[in-house]
Amino acid sequence: MSQNVLASASGVAVQASRRRTFAVISHPDAGKSTMTEALALHARVIGQAGAVHGKGDRRGVVSDWMAMEQQRGISVTSAALQFSYRDTVINLLDTPGHADFSEDTYRVLTAVDSAVMLLDAAKGLEPQTLKLFEVCRQRGIPVMTFINKWDRPGHDALALMDEIEQRIGLKPTPLTWPVGIAGQFQGVIDRRTGTFVRMERSPGGADLAIEEEMDPAEAAKRYGADWDTATEELDLLAMTGADHDQETFLAATSTPVLFGAAVANLGVRQLLNILVELAPPPAARPTAAGTDQPVDAAFSGFVFKMQANMNRAHRDQVAFMRICSGRFERGMIVTHAGTGKPFATKYAQQIFGQGRDTIDEAYPGDVVGLVNATALGIGDTLHVGERVQFPPLPSFPPEHFAVARTSDTSTFKRFRRGIEQLDGEGVVQVLRSEQRGDQAPVFAAVGPMQFEVAAFRLETEFGVKVQLDHLPYEVAARTDEAGREILRTESNVEVMTRVRDGALLAVFPHRWRMRTVAGRHPELRLDT
């Protein structure tokens, strides 16, 4: 191997080691977008956090770019932010804040190397939180836990540690510990150094928190009973072996825990520092062939998200690509692994919420936006040189179905164009029903709010008002042509074609009906 090639590979490895790519995930309303803003604020890439008074008053956060998100104060799409902090390049992926968009969240989790899980101090582990922890465990994704909203009344800190360990089987290993119960937050003890950091919300809460390091003796004198309680709890943690272990953290069997309040920017600096110091950099990535793609191999990456019309000034479609190996250069010709065809990367951008800048180079761990990438789809692999194919992204069977119609025939072309776009982005699955025809496609979704987003975007982006008539189906299973013929004889059952890939989906009103039909036709193929 030539010296130039060795130097190039070494340079890629060094750049990859500087990257930290992670997602912020949680149950709805736990503060994901607020935390995203707070992290960006501490890295000094924005001047003020956009969420300062909760949903009623909140400004539009950087990562919530869609008008519907800004109006409702929730996140319904994932977003990518990149910034530098302490000579480290942070790739932060914010995820949807509503359970109906869990499929988007799970796709994002394929593109990260670690995750920050937010827990609401007053609510603890909630259903969506449990699901996300399980997904991270299955994928071997190391998770850091941030107990959020400690400036409000909430559960006991030790009780939250017990809940994490008992309900999800992860060993909590707190790195910071609060002085003062939830709602009376004075600051945190750094368990690694023993120092106390007094924290005070800045006036208005939109700027960096006021912090002061104090030695234990001074803190004990000032905070009395609160300090005594915190140190007694720390002794209990030490006795139970709740100390950070990097090996078990990287193996996704323990979770470092920190305390704070993102909306007041309390404890956020500590989280950002811990991410830089302990979160894993990009590493060799498994391929569909069962091999590992080293970070210093030739360029490769995969598309984990498609999004159009993020900014009304840019009426285009962006493919979000996670770089897995090699050095990416804008303008390079890569190969589409699925088709074998070349793909030009002339329009490559770095995305910061709804903002964007042209990017000339990127490295493993980075997320690049490929603009007007109409030839790409979710899950596609791009590479240079020897063929590389990464595993397909997770897909979820729909549980809600609705017929979409427009009464204004003059908008039908825009209606079709909009539906094709939403289907390609994965906002909804689009099905074709024989009995309804092409004029009335069927939307299929994991959660009903996906229908709201689809209708909202069709109206605001394409000028098409749609009527959605819900269908009485709750279960879908893949079948084949033989299955279609068998099911023609059954009532309350329908077979539709998924437009994206031509798959046949048999839909049923409930699982009991599906089991009844399957029992009557043993030869019937039904894959759920």
Last residue of a domain, one of 335, 355, 383: 383
Do both 241 and 325 map to the same domain?
no
What is the model's pLDDT at position 205?
A: 64
Question: What's the whole-number mean pLDDT along residues 298-320?
Answer: 78
Binding-site annotation, residues for GTP: 94-98
Do both 448 and 481 map to the same domain?
yes
Question: What's the whole-number mean pLDDT along residues 250-275?
Answer: 95
- CA–CA gap between residue 282 and residue 301 (Å, rounded): 12
- CA–CA gap between residue 256 and residue 143 (Å, rounded): 8
Least confident window among 6-10, 217-221, 284-288, 516-520: 6-10
Query: Beta-strand (E) ranges in 121-267?
Result: 143-148, 171-174, 176-179, 187-190, 196-200, 210-214, 254-259
Last residue of a domain, one of 358, 383, 408: 383
Question: What's the whole-number mean pLDDT along residues 243-258?
Answer: 97
By the 10 Å C-beta count (0-12 exposed, 13-18 middle, 19+ buried), 490 is classed as middle
Do both 413 and 270 map to the same domain?
no
Residue bearing the bigger pLDDT, 184 or 355: 184
What is the model's pLDDT at position 438?
A: 85
Per-residue model confidence as pLDDT tens digits over 39-58: 888 776 655 544 333 344 44
Least confident window among 93-97, 163-167, 210-214, 248-252: 93-97
Do both 92 and 227 map to the same domain?
yes
What is the model's pLDDT at position 105?
A: 79
Domain CATH for 503 = 3.30.70.3280
- Looking up tokens 């069977």, which residue turns up? 397
Domain CATH for 178 = 3.40.50.300
- CA–CA gap between residue 428 and residue 403 (Å, rounded): 12
What is the model's pLDDT at position 33?
A: 80
Q: Is residue 6 part of a domain?
A: no
Q: Is residue 395 part of a domain?
A: no
Closest CA to 285 of 273, 300, 275: 300
What is the model's pLDDT at position 97?
A: 54
Do both 191 and 43 map to the same domain?
yes
Per-residue model confidence as pLDDT tens digits over 405-445: 998 889 999 999 999 888 888 888 999 998 888 889 999 98
Do both 316 and 443 map to the same domain?
no
Last residue of a domain, one of 350, 383, 416: 383
Q: Is residue 527 part of a domain?
A: no
What is the model's pLDDT at position 67?
A: 52
Q: Is residue 46 part of a domain?
A: yes
- CA–CA gap between residue 438 and residue 419 (Å, rounded): 11
- Beta strand 333-336 with 381-383 is antiparallel
Q: Is residue 163 part of a domain?
A: yes
Do both 120 and 45 map to the same domain?
yes
Q: Is residue 264 part of a domain?
A: yes
- At 170, the amino acid letter reads L
Q: Is residue 516 part of a domain?
A: yes
Q: Is residue 394 part of a domain?
A: no
Question: What's the whole-number mean pLDDT along residues 154-179?
Answer: 96
Binding-site annotation, residues: 94-98
- CA–CA gap between residue 392 and residue 43 (Å, rounded): 34
Q: Is the pLDDT assigned to residue 226 strictly greater than 50?
A: yes
Do both 54 and 75 map to the same domain?
yes
Question: What's the whole-number mean pLDDT along residues 364-378?
Answer: 90
Question: What's the whole-number mean pLDDT along residues 210-231?
Answer: 94
- CA–CA gap between residue 35 and residue 262 (Å, rounded): 5
pLDDT band at 201 (very low <50, low <70, confident <90, very high): confident
- CA–CA gap between residue 345 and residue 360 (Å, rounded): 10
- CA–CA gap between residue 5 and residue 7 (Å, rounded): 5
Do both 362 and 414 map to the same domain?
no
pLDDT band at 25 (very low <50, low <70, confident <90, very high): confident
Six-digit token string for 306: 């498609």
Closest CA to 78 of 54, 101, 50: 101
What is the model's pLDDT at position 75?
A: 47
What is the model's pLDDT at position 448?
A: 85
- Beta strand 429-433 with 467-470 is unpaired
Do both 416 and 342 map to the same domain?
no
Q: Is the pLDDT assigned to residue 483 strictly greater than 80?
A: yes
Per-residue model confidence as pLDDT tens digits over 484-501: 999 999 999 999 999 988
Question: What's the whole-number mean pLDDT along residues 348-359?
Answer: 75
Do both 230 and 110 map to the same domain?
yes
- At 375, the amino acid letter reads A
Do both 338 and 457 map to the same domain?
no
Count of domains in the chain? 3
Q: What is the mean pLDDT of the chain?
A: 87
Q: Is the pLDDT assigned to residue 68 strictly greater than 60?
A: no
> Residue 353 is part of which domain span?
285-383
